[in-house]
Amino acid sequence: MSLESNKAGREGEEMAARLLESKGFRIVERNYHFGKGEIDIIAKDGETLVFVEVKYRQNLEYGEPEYSITPAKIKQVRKLAECYLFERKIDESACRFDVVAILEERPGEPVINYYEDAF
């Protein structure tokens, strides 16, 4: 991944975190890594632990950002969530998987779609 796309990805995650906080979420962790995988944002929505996948695009060259979430990606995020719960010794918690898709074709004018309980 190029330095520019890393920077854009971080900006997208920052926008997503602000959106979640504006909805009353409490950010627990960002960029949780286990093995070669990553969960972008882990947050609490009330008592529910929410694993959030953020997809950010600056153009539609590769399609809408939300359509890049493949069955393989869903499987990976679910597995990473299990690892997170095991590592943190969390036995009993309601969990959910949300998606924040951001398209910012014009700088400063992002179109943000939020999908609660996306998968």
CATH of the domain at 63: 3.40.1350.10
Residues 117 and 98 sit within 8 Å (Cβ to Cβ): yes
Domains: count for the chain: 1
The residue-averaged pLDDT of 83-112 equals 96
Question: In this predicted model, what pLDDT tens digit does every residue of 6-27 receive, in sequence order?
Answer: 777 789 999 999 999 999 999 9
User: Which pLDDT belongs to residue 27?
Assistant: 98
The tokens describing 19, both together, are 């959106």
Residues 32 and 86 sit within 8 Å (Cβ to Cβ): no
Question: In this predicted model, what pLDDT tens digit does every residue of 51-83 receive, in sequence order?
Answer: 999 999 999 999 999 999 999 999 999 999 999
For 60, phi then psi, to 5°, come to -100, 20
Q: Reduce the secondary structure of the chain to three states and give it as a string.
A: CCHHHHHHHHHHHHHHHHHHHHCCCEEEEEEEEECCEEEEEEEEECCEEEEEEEEEECCCCCCCHHHHCCHHHHHHHHHHHHHHHHHCCCCCCCEEEEEEEEECCCCCCCEEEEECCCC
**Residue tagged 């890594």 (tokens):** 33
- On average, the pLDDT of the chain sits at 94
Which pLDDT band holds residue 2 (cuts at 50, 70, 90)? low
User: Which pLDDT belongs to residue 9?
Assistant: 77
- Note down the domain range covering 15: 3-115
Distance (Å, whole) CA 14 – CA 39 = 14
